[in-house]
Amino acid sequence: MDNNKRPFYAVKRQKGTTSSTSSLFIHNDDTDKNNHIYQRHHTTTLSKRGIFVLTCLIVITSLFLIGRYINASPSHLSYSDTSTSTSAATRQQLLDQPSYTTPIQCRVQLCNPSQRCSTWYPAFDRIHRNNDTTTDINAPVSYDWSDLVQQGVYRDLATIKADSGCVVSLQVEDETAGLAHNKSHWIPIPSGEEVDCLEQKQCRNVIAMTINDDLTALLSQLEAIMLDEPNQMDEEKIVTRMVNSTSESLITLVSQFSVNRLDVFSNVIEAWSGPISVAIYLTERNDIHILKDFFINPMNAELYGRVSITVVKPSYNNDERLRYPINHLRNLAIMASSTPYVFVMDADFIPSTTLYTTAQTLLTKTINSSSSSSSSSAIATNRRAIVIPCFAIHEEYSRLPLPTTMTEVASLVDQGIAYITDPGAGHGPTLGKEMALSLSKGSSADLYEVCYESQWEPYYIIPRDAPLYDVRFKNQGGDKQSHALQLNAERYRFLVLQREFMIHKDHAKMVWPGGGFPKAQKDRQLWNYFGGFMREMEMLYGYNVRWPHGCSALAIGWQEQRRNTLGMALGAV
């Protein structure tokens, strides 16, 4: 049957009449004229009623389908939208999510008696404004008399205010009568406070200033709060040392971990040459001392010098802190990034050493292409997730050096030394072995497309203004796959970067505080993926939320998909 035709049965017309009646009505030529007239009238009446009933059914069905479509398709996905990026204002909002704001970089505000104020920043910002590649970004930056005068600071200050974590010193000149030469001295300015120079007078005759965005100073302030203000132990406290990226950088690597991963993450910093933003969780009270001691070491401070660091102190008065808030930490690190794209990954993985450069080149081409295209094309271009294939090395081979190219990864997989991480529902849909390893040997393409599949949990590069992660997921389980599902519902396409990868070496299974997956996701009293999140997604996006919405027509069928599209839509494993 042609499904495009309306579902009417065949109509049999009666000879000698103009009425159309159903073939179920059989007329006899011997019937008297009056009865024949009655039958014609009665039959015609039934046909009108039938048509009326069918028309009503069609209208009702159409309205139902239209409602389902609208419910399943967020209104902002219309390509008549003139925006060039996903709008946070029109995106479907998940329930019970906190409000996030971009943290403030260390800054110092100087105001003169005429209430003319100027804002000053530490070394990193100034160095990159002047394209200075030789200055140590961790060293204090000095602003001399000429710098101050350019901003209207003529020795005489009314107020000065430094943000928390800013280490500020003023050089103040003495003008004691009778001295042949004026002398000067340096005075420290307390962080997080405003100093009234008109009242205190020791900061009036300023001739120079130094500023340093000192992480150890920020940690010392947090430590003092924990020691001196017991009521703060009941509240979450978040502090951030911001490092702005250069104007050329398009992508920030984002991660999160507790203090026991500080050394492990150093491998990531060495492999990734671009901006990095991390959130560090202080699970126990003593973790602040461990963190502070780590960064007192000059080598560690230098290594993390280009990393934006957000430190999270939870409430220590209940065991809820033991449920590691993995998605909350990811969101905080995303908000502390300063590039248009982010690459969210876990601390145990190490990106290939060329991933940042490759991603930069690809994103530059994407931005240039979308800027010269129509608004609808720009929207579609920005609604993409660039998936990075992930691999692991078996623990018995952990002493081997990490591979540097996808060709080397393919060789290790062939030898049984490395393998696809979670080749089932977790990372199987990435088609790492079927596509990435095979195409890397001869194909000239940069990307290949895959379709979303239920319970997939890829790592990807996405626009910074993409949906954030659902904070209700803690510990293990559901944290990444819930995010991938929402991206799919928002019509994101998934494109795999075939020549780059991320990899980690197997190690003893980490025991998650609070019990890990069984505690966090299988306990029905807690938030879980299938019982809570899936129902909410269906409410927001429609019952077909697991269908691969953003997948292009060519992607279905041109690859050997691991599950058919019906299975994907139904969430088959």
From 334, 265, 315, select the one nearest 295 (Cα to Cα). 265
Residue 63 belongs to a domain: no
Cα separation values, 516 from 76, 205, 323, 510, 522, Å: 37, 59, 8, 9, 10
Tens digit of each residue's pLDDT, the chain (573 residues):
444 433 333 333 344 444 333 333 334 444 444 444 444 444 444 567 767 767 777 766 665 554 444 444 433 333 233 333 444 435 788 999 999 998 887 889 999 888 889 988 885 444 444 444 444 545 567 888 888 888 878 778 889 998 877 889 999 887 665 445 568 889 888 888 889 988 877 787 888 998 888 888 889 888 888 887 777 677 899 999 988 777 789 999 999 999 999 999 999 999 999 999 999 999 999 999 999 999 999 999 999 999 999 999 999 888 888 889 999 999 999 999 999 999 999 999 999 999 999 999 999 988 887 666 655 555 566 899 999 999 999 999 989 999 999 999 999 999 999 999 988 888 989 988 888 887 665 555 689 999 999 899 999 999 999 999 999 999 888 999 999 999 999 999 999 998 899 999 887 666 656 555 455 445 545 668 888 899 999 999 999 999 998 887 556 554 455 455 454 444 443
In the 8-state DSSP scheme, what is residue 191?
B
Residue 456 lies in a domain: yes
Per-residue pLDDT, 235: 86
Q: Evaluate whether residue 82 is within a structural domain.
A: no
What does the pLDDT read at residue 518? 53
Give the Cα separation of 549 and 73 in Å (integer). 9
What would the two tokens of residue 53 be?
Answer: 């009933």
- Three-state secondary-structure class, residue 242: coil
As for how many domains the chain has, the answer is 3
Q: Which residues contact 286 (CB under 8 A, 6 or more apart)?
A: none
Are 277 and 173 within one domain? Answer: no
How far is the C-alpha of 120 from the C-alpha of 140, rounded, in Å? 13
**Is 92 inside a domain boundary?**
no
Residue 352 lies in a domain: yes
Question: Is 366 a member of any domain?
Answer: yes
Q: Are residues 17 and 50 in the same domain?
A: yes
Query: Do 472 and 557 have their domain in common?
Result: yes
CATH of the domain at 194: 2.60.20
468: amino acid identity, one letter: L
Same domain, 248 and 385: yes
Token pair in block for residue 116: 């003319």
Query: Are 168 and 282 part of one and the same domain?
Result: no
Verify that 468 and 351 share a domain, yes or no.
yes
Instruction: Identify the domain boundary among 40, 57, 74.
Output: 57
**What is the extent of the structural domain holding 145?**
108-213
pLDDT score at 9: 31
pTM score, whole prediction: 0.77
Check whether residue 207 and residue 244 sit in a common domain: no
Residue in the structure block whose two tokens are 């300023």: 206
pLDDT at 17: 41
Note whether 178 and 238 are same-domain residues.
no
CATH number assigned to the domain comprising residue 345: 3.90.550.10
HSE at residue 141, side-chain half, CA atoms within 13 A, is 22
